Chains A and B, each alone.
Chain A
Amino acid sequence: MSGPGRREVTLGVNGSRRELAVEPHWTLLQVLRDELGLMGTREGCGEGACGTCTVLVDGELARACLVLALRLDGQAVLTIEGMGGPEGLHPIQQAFVERGGSQCGFCTPGMIMTAKALLDENLEPADDDIKAFMSGNLCRCGSYSMIFEAIRLAAGRLREADAKR
């Protein structure tokens, strides 16, 4: 599978170890979509301004359209596919469904990844915390209020689950 310019890189992707041969200028977004067939992460602007392509790399927020895949050797990437799917949704995904957090849905994967980063850091975010933290993810359909409600609902459920442990 190697081409003349390709270099090897090993990524953890949604819990699986993947060994890939990538061109040095390929972004993580290209690798996710074109090499790994993970289509849930998409491009909205290609310049890191809209948040559509947001994923987590070693737990930190990253713009897949700007990050070069080769720089992530040995790191763990979490995409929307790793959050859950039709067989079992993550509480954040479930909350988005129940509170109508998606209209066209194009921003939704990036929104959910950013919401995960927020709730990983703070399970009791105030409204202003939510607004500020999510402000790098654009939603042109204007679902922000419902997204806030979904995040509050997910936070409550995650706190409950934590308390039970």
Chain B
Amino acid sequence: MGGSFIGESVLRVDAISKVSGTAAYGVDVRVPGMLHAKVVRSGVPHARIVRVDTSRARRIRGVRVALTGEDVPVRHGPILKDRPALALDKVRYAGEIVAAVAADDEEIAQAAAEAIDVEYEELPGVFDFDAALRPDAPLIHDDPRVYDRVEVPGLRVDPQPGSNLCYHFKLRKGDVEAAFGRADLVVEDTFTTPKIQYCHLEPQVAVAQVDGSGNITVWASTMSPHLLRNAIAELAGVPAAKVRVITMMVGGGYGSKVYLGALNPVAVLLAMRAPNKAIRLAFDRQDEFLTNDVRLPTRTTIKTAAMRDGTLLARKVATYWDKGPYALLGPVIVRNAGYCSLGPYRLPNAWIDGYLVYTNNQMGGGFRGLGVPQVAWAGEQQIDRVARELGIDPVEFRLRNAYRDGDVSVTGERLQSVGVRQCIEEAARAIGWGTHPRGGRTHRYGHGIACILKSTLTPSASFATVNLNSDGSADILTSAVEHGQGAHTVLSQIVATELALPLDRVRVVMQDTSVTPFDRSSTSSRTTFHMGNALQRAAVDVRRQLAQLAASVLEVHPDDVTFVDGQVQVRGVPHQSHGYGEIVSRAFGSPGTLVGQGSCFTKPIYDSMDPDTGQSKRPSVYFMYGAQAAEVRVDTETGEYRVTRLASAVDAGKAINPANCIQQIEGAAVMGLGFATMEELVSTEGRLLNPTFLDYKIPSSADMPDMISRIVEVPHPEGPYGAKGIGESSIATTAAAVGNALYAALGVQIHDLPIRAERVFRAMRGAATRPAR
């Protein structure tokens, strides 16, 4: 049955293949005769490489290629090209890839990797912000000016020699010091967040093959096939037309698997040395823990000024971000989280500093929420402290200050399509704000709330094609990746609606950069908006062409042609209908294809951010708003606590598939719960102590609170049917919501994540909860 699928909770198009085990992921790719690769990781966090000797490895029977940085002295990076594919003169984090081998099977490859001898001269390392920024600190990069860089609009990245400061974000609005002077209340606190792991269950994997003509094919588990294609082309020194990236289902990304990363360059460089042999490089779980990127750890000092009636006057914040040794996406994270770090509140005065610091810790990467979870932990807990000290209910306080349509943001933008107040109200209503159980002699209950806004990558672009086939079915050619967020389903709904086709007559083809047009990436909660717009336009293009053909074949005016359920009909001529395929074959005298194209790019609306003031009239094409309320039950003797209920409310603009939205809202909340209550990568002197699921806990079913999810719809005029993005809104609020719930129950604030029972215990006893360092 054709019709509108917008707003329908249709079953996911990938559900059956996933429950039957037939869905194909990157780990499932098998090419006949393929070789298997293993990497050698540095075990030391900062050292000069004296010698890498692959001779013993090369002598092992079945070893085909052995590679070191000396063989391929290339660097890459999305902003600053400071990262070697294989370590060159130095290693800068424990886990950096130093060498790689490819062999006939995995066991031989493993034996060969173990037979590679590396001699290091260890150097003093830096493992925290303060040590890294001291004038006499060991330098991660002697002179960052030598690295090539990519110009990113609204970003000035200019690291200087003699310093480990990679980037400094600044935002200045009004006069915060004057505001602090006249405020009725000023509070200041410092908060920290640890590094955590993506833990996507499908590890990173790539199968790379170079044929006799130098054409490179890579089957990659990636969230951005075209970014990867372009980066591989640059790495290999070939035109993009000679590079093909193919992506199937991806078993989780969450911001990992986006750029070249550590794995892809190695797979490609090995393949370039094994002509016509496919090379498979897959990380195991330990590789993931030791070598993959992490959520950037932070330290935030924030100061808030308010009047007695609860009006916010000013906020001043300084956040330090631990980048690890290479820039990657760091500056974008610091900027984008930076200008959202004061929360979704009217502020006449604002001062923001974000410092991105090079260290010898693990690589910081873009992780679901892109820095907002870290800054919200600080900012939203301080809101509760201000509210409490003024004797104002935290929900009421937020509603008094939260953005409305037409308010001016801290960057100077007049905001539109603002759903934060509705989210606060919905979350509070859903948790039953203030009506928790009473508690008893040894335990108490508390409710806490938090809200955020988050930007989306701007400017960016998505292009798409829709092919109408000879039988009236349609192929959807998009490079949007299905990594669990339901993109393929939502995009199918849009195309089926615009083409008046039943849902099972449209199909998203496999992502293949030789076939599916450019999409920036399936990240930043941007796919429904950008690719949704592109595909809606592509489908409308097909419909327009079909109307022209029908008009000519049926000898009517194109405006009288209508489309219903895969059939062309003519206004005023009932009882007659023609299948799309019939129109095409009558028009061409043969089967044919109608190709429609569409795009969505946000450059025209983007206002580049001033690097000194952080001002921009439109830094993000839309904002995501969300609020979350938590109920906790805490033991007042031991500090042990449970999150009993978690209510999330997220502004979707328009929920094209409500069930899909709920999946994403709850999924993000569960990740937020892990960040709040249990996750922490523990390192000493740059060496990871818990690189295993046995010692690094992520939420399991046993940890689940009662989950309530609400969709708020404040439409966006530029989104497809009004839709925005929702995948990250409810991960950013959880830590502060839980912290605020404990604050309500106990009267003490926790400053450091994760909120372990011991920290609650010590906070209750008045001791500091800062990690000992």
* A→B interface (CB under 8 Å): 38-47, 49-50, 52, 79-81, 83-86, 89, 93-94, 96-98, 100-109, 112, 130-132, 134-148
* B→A interface (CB under 8 Å): 11-12, 14-25, 27-28, 198-202, 249-252, 254, 284-285, 483-486, 659-660, 662-664, 666-671, 692-694, 698-702, 704, 707
Cα separation A148 to B16 with both chains bound (whole Å)? 18
Pairs across A and B, CB under 8 Å, 25 listed: A39-B21, A43-B27, A44-B201, A52-B201, A83-B20, A89-B19, A100-B12, A100-B663, A102-B12, A102-B14, A102-B15, A102-B484, A105-B17, A105-B23, A106-B202, A130-B701, A131-B702, A132-B701, A135-B700, A135-B701, A140-B198, A145-B707, A146-B663, A147-B701, A148-B704
- The chain B residue with its CB closest to the CB of A145 is B707
Q: Are A47 and B692 in contact (CB under 8 A)?
A: yes
- The chain A residue with its CB closest to the CB of B28 is A39
| Chain B positions within 8 Å of A143 at CB level | 663, 666-667
Contact (A105, B251) CB under 8 Å given A97-B11, A135-B702, A142-B667: yes
Cα separation A151 to B231 with both chains bound (whole Å)? 44
Contact (A142, B701) CB under 8 Å given A47-B693, A105-B484: no
Q: Are B667 and A40 in contact (CB under 8 A)?
A: no
Minimum C-beta distance from B487 to chain A (A):
11
Total A-B pairs in contact (CB under 8 Å)? 168
Cα separation A98 to B15 with both chains bound (whole Å)? 9
Cα separation A77 to B704 with both chains bound (whole Å)? 31
Q: Are A132 and B702 in contact (CB under 8 A)?
A: yes
Q: Are B484 and A86 in contact (CB under 8 A)?
A: no
Q: Of B201, B284, B662, which one neighbours A138 at CB under 8 angstroms? A: B201
- The chain B residue with its CB closest to the CB of A39 is B28
| Chain B positions within 8 Å of A44 at CB level | 201-202, 285
Minimum C-beta distance from A74 to chain B (A):
25
Q: Are A140 and B16 in contact (CB under 8 A)?
A: no
| Chain A positions within 8 Å of B23 at CB level | 105
| Chain A positions within 8 Å of B252 at CB level | 104, 106, 140-141
Sorted from nearest, which 4 A-B pairs have the closest CB atoms?
A40-B21, A142-B670, A104-B484, A105-B18
Q: Of B15, B25, B284, which one neighbours A106 at CB under 8 angstroms? A: B25
Q: Are B16 and A86 in contact (CB under 8 A)?
A: yes
Minimum C-beta distance from B336 to chain A (A):
23
Q: Are A46 and B284 in contact (CB under 8 A)?
A: yes
- The chain B residue with its CB closest to the CB of A88 is B20
Q: Of B11, B19, B249, which one neighbours A93 at CB under 8 angstroms? A: B19
Q: Of A52, A102, A142, which one neighbours B18 at CB under 8 angstroms? A: A102
| Chain A positions within 8 Å of B666 at CB level | 142-143, 145-146
- The chain B residue with its CB closest to the CB of A114 is B701
Q: Are B699 and A102 in contact (CB under 8 A)?
A: no
Q: Are A45 and B249 in contact (CB under 8 A)?
A: no
Q: Are B199 and A108 in contact (CB under 8 A)?
A: no
Contact (A131, B15) CB under 8 Å given A84-B20, A140-B252, A142-B667: no
Minimum C-beta distance from A146 to chain B (A):
7
Cα separation A145 to B633 with both chains bound (whole Å)? 20
Q: Are B668 and A142 in contact (CB under 8 A)?
A: yes
- The chain B residue with its CB closest to the CB of A107 is B201
Minimum C-beta distance from A81 to chain B (A):
6
Minimum C-beta distance from B651 to chain A (A):
20
Q: Are A42 and B698 in contact (CB under 8 A)?
A: no
Q: Of B485, B701, B707, which one neighbours A131 at CB under 8 angstroms? A: B701
| Extra pairs beyond A45-B285, A46-B285, A80-B20 (20, CB < 8 Å) | A45-B692, A46-B284, A80-B19, A86-B20, A86-B22, A96-B19, A97-B11, A100-B15, A102-B14, A104-B249, A104-B483, A105-B14, A112-B19, A138-B199, A138-B698, A141-B484, A141-B667, A142-B670, A145-B666, A145-B704
- The chain B residue with its CB closest to the CB of A99 is B659
Contact (A140, B671) CB under 8 Å given A50-B693, A89-B20, A104-B484: yes
Q: Are B663 and A103 in contact (CB under 8 A)?
A: yes
| Chain B positions within 8 Å of A100 at CB level | 12, 15, 659-660, 662-663
Minimum C-beta distance from B430 to chain A (A):
14
Q: Are B694 and A49 in contact (CB under 8 A)?
A: yes
Minimum C-beta distance from B202 to chain A (A):
5
Minimum C-beta distance from A80 to chain B (A):
4
Minimum C-beta distance from B221 to chain A (A):
10
Cα separation A139 to B700 with both chains bound (whole Å)? 7
Minimum C-beta distance from A105 to chain B (A):
3
Q: Are A140 and B20 in contact (CB under 8 A)?
A: no
| Chain B positions within 8 Å of A137 at CB level | 700-701
Cα separation A146 to B702 with both chains bound (whole Å)? 14
- The chain B residue with its CB closest to the CB of A147 is B701
Q: Are A102 and B19 in contact (CB under 8 A)?
A: yes
| Chain B positions within 8 Å of A141 at CB level | 252, 484, 663, 667
Q: Are B16 and A109 in contact (CB under 8 A)?
A: no
| Chain B positions within 8 Å of A52 at CB level | 201
- The chain A residue with its CB closest to the CB of B198 is A140
| Chain B positions within 8 Å of A93 at CB level | 19-20
Q: Are A109 and B701 in contact (CB under 8 A)?
A: no
| Chain A positions within 8 Å of B201 at CB level | 44, 50, 52, 104, 106-107, 138-140
Cα separation A147 to B11 with both chains bound (whole Å)? 15
Contact (A42, B19) CB under 8 Å given A105-B14, A147-B701: no
Cα separation A86 to B527 with both chains bound (whole Å)? 28
- The chain B residue with its CB closest to the CB of A112 is B19
Minimum C-beta distance from B416 to chain A (A):
31
Minimum C-beta distance from A50 to chain B (A):
6
Cα separation A143 to B700 with both chains bound (whole Å)? 10
Cα separation A146 to B664 with both chains bound (whole Å)? 11
Cα separation A52 to B284 with both chains bound (whole Å)? 13
| Chain A positions within 8 Å of B692 at CB level | 45, 47, 49
Q: Are A140 and B704 in contact (CB under 8 A)?
A: no
Cα separation A132 to B249 with both chains bound (whole Å)? 29
Cα separation A102 to B659 with both chains bound (whole Å)? 12
Q: Are A96 and B15 in contact (CB under 8 A)?
A: yes
| Chain B positions within 8 Å of A40 at CB level | 20-22
Minimum C-beta distance from A35 to chain B (A):
12
Of A38, A105, A130, chain B has the most CB atoms within 10 Å of the CB of: A105
| Chain A positions within 8 Å of B19 at CB level | 80, 89, 93-94, 96-97, 101-102, 105, 108, 112
| Chain B positions within 8 Å of A136 at CB level | 700
Cα separation A134 to B16 with both chains bound (whole Å)? 21
- The chain B residue with its CB closest to the CB of A106 is B251
Minimum C-beta distance from A27 to chain B (A):
12
| Chain B positions within 8 Å of A105 at CB level | 14, 17-19, 23, 249, 251, 484
Minimum C-beta distance from B408 to chain A (A):
35
- The chain A residue with its CB closest to the CB of B14 is A105
Q: Of B15, B27, B484, B662, which one neighbours A42 at CB under 8 angstroms? A: B27
Minimum C-beta distance from A23 to chain B (A):
9
- The chain A residue with its CB closest to the CB of B20 is A85
- The chain B residue with its CB closest to the CB of A134 is B701
| Chain B positions within 8 Å of A144 at CB level | 670, 699-701, 704
| Chain A positions within 8 Å of B200 at CB level | 104, 106, 140
- The chain B residue with its CB closest to the CB of A90 is B19
Minimum C-beta distance from B693 to chain A (A):
4
| Chain B positions within 8 Å of A89 at CB level | 16, 19-20
- The chain A residue with its CB closest to the CB of B249 is A105
| Chain A positions within 8 Å of B199 at CB level | 138, 140
Cα separation A132 to B284 with both chains bound (whole Å)? 27
Minimum C-beta distance from B694 to chain A (A):
5
Minimum C-beta distance from B38 to chain A (A):
14
Q: Are B699 and A47 in contact (CB under 8 A)?
A: no
Cα separation A104 to B249 with both chains bound (whole Å)? 8
| Chain A positions within 8 Å of B704 at CB level | 131, 144-145, 148
